[in-house]
Amino acid sequence: TVEPLMDGAVVLRQFALPNAESLMAGIETVTSEAPFRHMKTPGGHAMSAAMSCCGDLGWVTDSRGYRYQAEDPESGRPWPAMPAAFRELARSAAETAGFEGFEPDACLINRYQPGARMGLHQDKDEQDFTQPIVSVSLGLPMVFQFGGLKRSERPIRVPLGHGDVVVWGGPARMRYHGVLTLKAGEHPQTGGYRYNLTFRRAR
| Residue numbers at the binding site for ligand MD5 (CB under 6 A) | 108, 110, 118, 123, 133, 135, 146, 168, 172-173, 175, 177, 179, 196, 198
Q: How many residues bind Fe ion (CB under 5 A)?
A: 1
172 binds, among Fe ion, ligand MD5, none (CB under 5 to 8 A by kind): ligand MD5
Closer residue to ligand MD5 (CB): 87 or 201: 201
Q: Which residues contact 117 (CB under 8 A, 6 or more apart)?
A: 48, 49, 178, 179, 180, 181, 182
Between residue 32 and residue 91, which ones bind Fe ion under the rule CB under 5 A? Answer: none
Minimum CB–partner distance for residue 91 and ligand MD5 (Å): 17
> Using CB under 5 A, which of 72, 105, 123, 126 touches Fe ion?
123
| CB 122 to Fe ion: min, Å | 7
CA 170 to chain centre: 18
Residue 72 touches which member of Fe ion, ligand MD5, none, C-beta under 5-8 Å by kind: none
| Cα 57 to Cα 53: distance, rounded to the nearest angstrom | 8
Provide the minimum distance between the beta carbon of 168 and ligand MD5 in the complex, in angstroms, as a whole number: 4
- What are the DSSP E strand ranges found in the chain? 2-6, 9-12, 50-54, 58-62, 65-69, 106-112, 118-121, 133-139, 142-146, 156-160, 165-168, 177-179, 194-200
Give 72 or 123: the residue with its C-beta nearer to Fe ion: 123
Angle subtended at Cα 76 by Cα 40 and Cα 47, rounded to the nearest 5 degrees:
15
52 contacts which partner out of Fe ion, ligand MD5, none, CB within 5 to 8 A by kind?
none
Is there a contact between 58 and 126 (Cβ–Cβ < 8 Å)? no
Rg of the Cα atoms in the chain: 16
> Least separation, in Å, of the C-beta of 78 and ligand MD5?
21
Residue nearest to ligand MD5 (CB): 177
Using CB under 5 A as the criterion, which residues of the chain lie in contact with Fe ion when the complex forms?
123
